[in-house]
Amino acid sequence: MANPSKKLVSCVILDLDGTLLNTDGVVGGVLKGLLVKYGKQWDGREAQRIIGKTPLEAAAAVVEEYGLPCGKDEFLAELYPIFSAQLCNIKPLPGANRLLKHLSGHGVPMALASNSPRGNIESKISYHQGWKDYFSVIVGGDEVTAGKPNPEIFLEAAKRLNTEPSSCLVIEDSMPGVTAGKAAGIEVVAVPSVPKQAHLYTSADEVINSLLDLQPEKWGLPSFQDWVEGTLPIEPWYIGGPVIKGFGRGSKVLGIPTANLSTEGHSSLLSEHPSGVYFGWAVLSTRGVYKMVMSIGWNPYFNNAEKTIEPWLLHEFSEDFYGEELHLVIVGYIRPEVNFPSLESLIAKIQEDRKVAETALDLPLYSKHKDDPYLKSS
């Protein structure tokens, strides 16, 4: 049932980079390599300033921040061919394909509105099956007089969709995009692509952790029907390594003994997956296969400095197993990462997550993954 406080919409306008595609990871890799030439090291501090900007604005921000001995046009001319060669390596963000297939399957008109040039947009989506057909309208930054945060790009998209802006929903990851959407008189769902920045998006009508958490029915759009007993099946993904000592709070503070994995060597994998609570199967090289529920993220209650992986093997162990090889296959999603008002409420939610995971893993949909070859290979 739609939330009566929100407008009902009939069309969806989506941003591309950082909203549907994990462009930021590829851009970061390209900048890291290019800045070495200038004796500089990309540390990601400019990520917030370049997200949602036109390519020239982003280039200007990097040139200024790093004090490069070149102009923004020269830097962009150097950057663009390297970036273009990497377009085929840009992956869809979790939930992107699911959302596009869902809206398309229900006949909801969709537009792409990006500050990138039109040709660049078309090149990016050409690597993703069906995406070109999903969008009846594409508006690039080179087709309007001013890019986001100017509202023109969204007004033009609505015009080409033959609908009023007020009948549209915008989905955006950047503040310039959110600002543009609101200035166009459109309801905006923000999916912040920079970690721990959700508090800055107060002008958005809703802020969600990832596309996995979008509830289209809030806006009068068809609801997803793929949740199963409080869980969302996902394409399985894998991670493994030796069990390390964590923060010392799992058993002592929470009464929950987590088997932490090092994030070293897994930064690109972690950047692909939204923070939140997941579940699946775990194998310890000398002990066997166990049900598992895990958190990925910054644990807002404890305000971690870095994104961590904290699996909880749902079994009573009589001894520690630090150093043992742990392999995980992650098969489902439960909820986004959220903060809690008290330690008690955090513990209660974690125990609820455990029950959800334990029950779900008995379903054939998930239990079949207990025999995944990745678990046998450890």
Contacts of 275 (CB under 8 A, 6+ apart): 195, 209, 295, 296, 297, 298, 307, 336, 337
Cβ atoms of 243 and 321 closer than 8 Å:
yes
How many Å from the N-terminal Cα to the C-terminal Cα in the chain? 46
Contact 340, 301 (CB under 8 A): yes
**Location of structure tokens 């923004």:** 72
User: Residue 260: which H helix or E strand, with range?
Assistant: strand 260-261
310 counts as catalytic: yes
- Concatenated DSSP letters for 174-202? SHHHHHHHHHTT-EEEE---STT-GGG-T
Which of 213, 310, 337, 372 is catalytic? The answer is 310
Name 319's Cβ contacts closer than 8 Å, sequence gap at least 6: none
Determine which one of 15, 24, 152, 213 is catalytic: 15
Options 17, 152, 205, 372, the catalytic residue: 17
Q: Does 17 participate in catalysis according to the annotation? A: yes
> Residue 326 belongs to what H/E stretch?
strand 325-336
Distance CA 275, CA 297 (A): 4
Told to judge if 43 belongs to the known catalytic residues of this protein, a careful annotator would answer no
> What is the set of active-site residues?
15, 17, 310
